[in-house]
A = this chain, B = another copy of it.
Amino acid sequence: MAVYTEISDEDLARFIRSYDLGSLLSCKGIAEGVENTNYLVHTTKGAFILTIYEKRVDPKDLPFFLGLMEHLSARGVTCPLPVRDAKGRVLNELAGRHAALVTFLEGMWPKRPKVEHCLELGKALARMHVAGEGFALHRPNALGLLGWRPLFDKFSPRAEEILPELKQLISDELSFLEASWPNGLPQGVIHADLFPDNVFFIGDRLSGLIDFYFACDDALAYDIAVSLNAWCFEPNCHFNATKGRALLEGYDGVRKLTETERNVLPILARGAAMRFLLTRSYDWLNTPKDALVARKDPIDYVRRLRFHQSVQSIDNYGFEQVR
């Protein structure tokens, strides 16, 4: 939840007038999104999300994120579509910050994802990967393999405040990942943060994907690994192989996994668990306890990492390979 930037009445009215969206009817700060400030705006022409980009987002990346949503939307992926103002711009300014207006996507994210949700998610993720082909802009994954150790160095002296053995655990695992990280996997644009709160459903139908603010170029299968971590563990951190199978089969039905992708999935899953363990640990140690942002417990990702360390092959994720 986050509503950081307050907007004056005049600034908001001027901002909305710069678009061809009719009259402003209402504007509510909504309790979603951690990185940015989001308002649900009604105008006489419909519902929109107004996003004001806070300091954690690098303005240089905004054309990539907004351009990607336009690219995917034009190729049939249901996601928020950036609205162009009267001058044709998608990126604007409001209250001294970068801001954009995108179409409002109906739907609700599943608080407790079921097997059916995982199946639909797998299909949608594969469709997004296919639709991403040919996107002209590029953005390296700042939170990929090369970013992990520098991030760890920022908090390693305090890692034991979270868990006594955490420093050693991360250090050993980083060495393993640096030595074993696979090359030569199919690359493309990945979402990189496709957690349940970024996937909307209306009833059982997947109605769209949101929040492309971690999207980047990377191995497509790494995106699957992120989703396995995000969707297929129960609240007690036990892996649910039925959900894993649904996600993987959903994906594979749309975009066939290569032999190599199947083989390296356990390593990618360890890497994805590491990525969220690192950012959550850093945030845990650096977010003031009285902040308006809920801190997410890093321990959940220690548990996930330990599971992936025990995995022998993709079979353990529930994926039954035809041999």
Contacts and interface: CB of A to CB of B under 8 A. Distances in A.
Interface of A: 1, 3, 6, 8-9, 12, 23-32, 40, 42, 47, 104-108, 110-112, 200, 202-203, 289-290, 292
B290 A6 contact: no
A200 to B, nearest CB: 8
A9 B203 contact: no
Contact of A9 (B25, B29, B105, B110): B110
Contact of A31 (B9, B23, B30): B30
Contacts of A9: 108, 110-112
A222 to B, nearest CB: 28
Contacts of A12: 108
The residue among A9, A42, A200, A203 with the most chain B CB atoms within 10 A of its own CB is A9
Nearest to A109: B9
Nearest to A38: B28
B111 A26 contact: no
Given A9-B108, A47-B42, A108-B9, A29 B26 contact: no
B24 A28 contact: no
Contacts of A31: 1, 3, 28-31
A25 B106 CA distance: 5
Contacts of A27: 108
Contacts of A29: 1, 30-32
A28 B47 CA distance: 13
A6 B294 CA distance: 13
A-B pairs, 5 with minimum CB distance: A290-B290, A29-B31, A25-B106, A3-B31, A28-B30
Given A3-B31, A8-B112, A47-B42, A26 B290 contact: no
Given A8-B112, A9-B110, A28 B23 contact: no
B6 A111 contact: yes
A25 B292 contact: no
Given A3-B1, A40-B40, A292-B292, A26 B108 contact: yes
A31 B28 CA distance: 7
Given A3-B31, A40-B40, A292-B292, A26 B107 contact: yes
Contacts of A107: 25-26
A104 B27 CA distance: 12
A202 B24 contact: yes
